[in-house]
A and B are shown apart, each in its own frame.
Chain A
Amino acid sequence: MDWLLLLIQTLNGIQYGLLLFLIASGLTLVFGIMGVINLAHGSFYMIGAYLAYSFTELTGSLPLAILLGIPVTLVLGFVIERVFITHLYHRDHLQQVLLTFGLILIFNELQLIIWDGDPHGVPVPDMLSGSIPLSDTLSYPVYRIFLSLVCLFFAGALALIIQRTRIGMRIRAGASNREMVESLGVNIRVLYAIVFSVGVTLAGVAGMLAAPVETVYPGMGEQILIISFVVVVIGGIGSIKGAFLGALAIGVADVYGQVFLPGFASVAVYALMAAILLWRPSGLFGRGEG
């Protein structure tokens, strides 16, 4: 057993897990606070990646592309919330799922129209394109470490905002009692619009950051969405802590799966989910069904 290879795979797994966390936290935020399940969440990951691709082509710089991409995604998220999501708050899960499913159909087709059906790559920015040598022959890409750190930063920032700030308190309060919060003078509509657009932008940013290490291709949104679901199921709905641990578990499990069970790698993740469900039907930190 080559320990160095194992280390590299573990680092990859952690990096993937942190990326998943970023995406899943947006999903769980929106569901935990607004009670809306958004199937089109993965589409924003895809949109982020494609924006990164196009803006990098345009400006030659990924950081600039991300700076441009974030406001675009925020605005898009805001518009989607105001036009479509706002009708879903008092509806049941099936309707939420189907409406956002319809959004996916539209997004996917628009993506084909605006871009195309070919896979693309995004170059790693020069500053981060080096590698840290681990041995004579093996090294670890700096960009992946950077990616992990950025995701960790977001994780920390999220935790802080939710737990410590007044906004976070309002957000948590909004989850439990809509009318009460409304009567406090907090404009629920604005709050929800912000929460939603921030939530989907988290997925979008993940897409932008991941673009240099993952391929940018049409189906990427659905793929990551379902894995995000697994993360949320494992971690428990509405729990950021659960999303974090679940994401890491999935990230490492997926990467190890590809190493040890080639050909059946994708099954490893679902097997893990099945095992955890047998033990804890509400996820590791779930509060039961919201």
Chain B
Amino acid sequence: MSTAILQAAHLSKNFGGLRAVHDVNLACEKGQIHAVIGPNGAGKTTLINLLSGDLVPSTGVITYHDQDITELPAHRVSRLGIGRSYQRTNIFPEFTCWQNCWLAGQSRESTSLRFFKPANAARAVRARTEDALRTAGLEAQADVPANEVSYGEQRQLEIAMLLAMEPEVLLLDEPLAGMGIEESAHVIELISRIAVDHAIVLIEHDMDAVFAVADILTVMVDGVILESGSPEDIRGSARVREAYLGDEIENLKGAPE
């Protein structure tokens, strides 16, 4: 019996004649970082969209704690405890970082159909907001409008919002996109800390980061899974090297010749 929290079986998504994702299987356990890598156009973001409920699969089944969630819309999936971050920053630009996280924190309340501010709920939301900002290292920017912080900080805000949602599963779509070395290191460290009691699906192009933190790697090319396994297996795989990693492997720290 697997301990996978989130599982996808035979997932496919067609757009007209285009096979964006075909027969993909994926399992993710608590405490595990499952990285999905592959060249652009491999279908990685489509896969995340399928898992998050933004897209409905053409075929296949997605289960969460053995519950079928395949047809659920995004907001239901999110309420269950599956949160995602976006490759292209998807925040509330004119709101402050605090207000951005607040909305995320508020989403966990049983209902927001409250027209007068109740103190108890506010305390809980406040706690989530403060924790999220602190964990992501954005306390100093709390009262700055999100469209006025640096790009790297906006990417951190993406993650902070995710944290404020208190999800069990995190779907991270290229969280390091556009970040500098120092910021990337900080975020990677953050991700590995979170991974301890969460299940994480991570899409990334930064190979150093991926090989540093991933427990399992799945390589996708042209919408199908090329190979899936431990970082060592993938690093040593000739097929993967040929199809995707190529020269990048030589540049990896500690890569075998």
A–B touch (CB < 8 A): the answer is no
Binding site for B on A (CB under 8 A): none
